Amino acid sequence: MARICGKDCEARIEMNIKKVGVLGCGLMGSGIAQVCASAGFDVTVLEVEQKYLDKGFAGIDKSLAKFAERPVEKGGITPQQRDEIRSRLRGTTKREDLADCDIVIEAIIENVEEKKKMYASIDAIIKKDAIFASNTSSISVTELLTAVKRPERFIGLHFFNPVPLMKLVEVVKTIATAPEVYDAAYEFAKKLGKVPVRTSDKTGFIVNRLLVPYLLDAIRAYEEGVGSIEDIDNAMKLGCGYPMGPFTLLDFVGLDTTYYITHVMYDEFKERRFASPPLLKRLVMAGWYGKKSGRGFYDYANPEKPVAGKF
């Protein structure tokens, strides 16, 4: 799958991508917008209502404030850099404002129909040689590209949460993606300061293909009485050096999101390892989506001291 992109090619790509459009200003969209602006790109973020932009930009301000507190030699930024990054970010509720973007990265709700509707509605607005990218974690990129009239300019760019900190971007090739579009997106990910990995459009790509069965197995182990939520988390953190135990990570990613991913993955592979355990379904039915809703496998009434549930 490896492709060669020499100095000339990199220069051409650099020239081509200057303005970035981000669709959606939620957790992932706002994070993607932040890293693009931090890398020097002008960014326009589209949302359906101003209140979602306000919420997303408040998250960006919080994250930039954390970077500004850190010494520059440890990856921090100066107050002046923070202001420059902020000045490169613009929110809008009008699709027309994306017209001059060189790449448009979609990070709206993880729902096939909603995503296709969004792409179809901007296809005629976005300039002809722009790249369409989706941050989908589980939906087939090939299915999404059917919504636009230029499938060869369509690609997956899968970022990880929290986007400003996680170094990885999965660059997802479909059978329709033009090689030069793939190279441009790969170089773009590098320009963001990320480490891109090459993968193809198979559900879950690399990370979720391996991560999701692990997370679901942790729930099954708990259901079978192998250990408590806290003990399983501690075991994986302290025994394997993972930054978060599986239940903390599940709450962090969102149980609704994970539950949705299990459906798409199970539908593709029809293997038990991708099927949702009953407890995950019950928590989602109860509206306990994890950290964002205040309760999941842990109760976050006191966010500094989450309390593990007993189910």
Identity of the residue numbered 36:
C
Using rule CB under 6 A, residue 309 touches ligand 3HC = no
Question: Which range in 163-171, 226-234, 274-282, 289-297 contacts ligand 3HC by CB under 6 A?
Answer: 163-171
Using rule CB under 6 A, residue 298 touches ligand 3HC = no
Q: Give the 3-state secondary structure of residue 298.
A: strand
Distance (Å, whole) CA 219 – CA 246: 8
| Min dist. Cβ of residue 5 to ligand 3HC (A) | 26
Placement of tokens 């960006």 in the chain: 60
Which pairing describes strands 131-134 and 42-46: parallel, antiparallel, or unpaired? unpaired
Tell me if residue 208 is catalytic: yes
Using rule CB under 6 A, residue 81 touches ligand 3HC = no
Tell me if residue 170 is catalytic: yes
Please pick, from the candidates 3, 18, 70, 282, the single residue that binds ligand 3HC as defined by CB under 6 A: 70
Residues counted in the chain? 311
Using rule CB under 6 A, residue 253 touches ligand 3HC = yes
CB 264 within 8 A of CB 141: no
Question: Which range in 101-109, 117-125, 243-251, 271-279 contacts ligand 3HC by CB under 6 A?
Answer: 243-251
CB 45 within 8 A of CB 25: yes
Task: Give the chain's largest Cα–Cα span.
Answer: 59
Using rule CB under 6 A, residue 160 touches ligand 3HC = yes
Distance (Å, whole) CA 89 – CA 60: 10
For ligand 3HC (CB under 6 A), the number of binding residues is 16
Distance (Å, whole) CA 108 – CA 124: 19
Site for ligand 3HC in 188-217 (CB under 6 A): 208
Tell me if residue 263 is catalytic: no
Using rule CB under 6 A, residue 244 touches ligand 3HC = yes
Spot the catalytic one: 137, 138, 140, 276. Answer: 137
For residue 118 the two structure tokens come to: 């969004």
Tell me if residue 271 is catalytic: no
- Complex with ligand 3HC: residue 48 or 165, whichever CB lies closer: 165
Q: Which helix (H) or strand (E) holds 105?
A: strand 103-106
Site for ligand 3HC in 3-42 (CB under 6 A): none
Placement of tokens 């902020």 in the chain: 86
Q: Which of 181, 186, 208, 163 is nearest to 27 (CA)?
A: 163
Question: Which range in 17-25, 44-52, 65-73, 80-88 contacts ligand 3HC by CB under 6 A?
Answer: 65-73
The residue whose Cβ lies closest to ligand 3HC is 137
For residue 144 the two structure tokens come to: 């999404």
- By annotation, the residues acting in catalysis are 137, 158, 170, 208
Interaction site with ligand 3HC (CB under 6 A): 63, 66-67, 70, 137, 160-162, 164-166, 208, 243-244, 249, 253
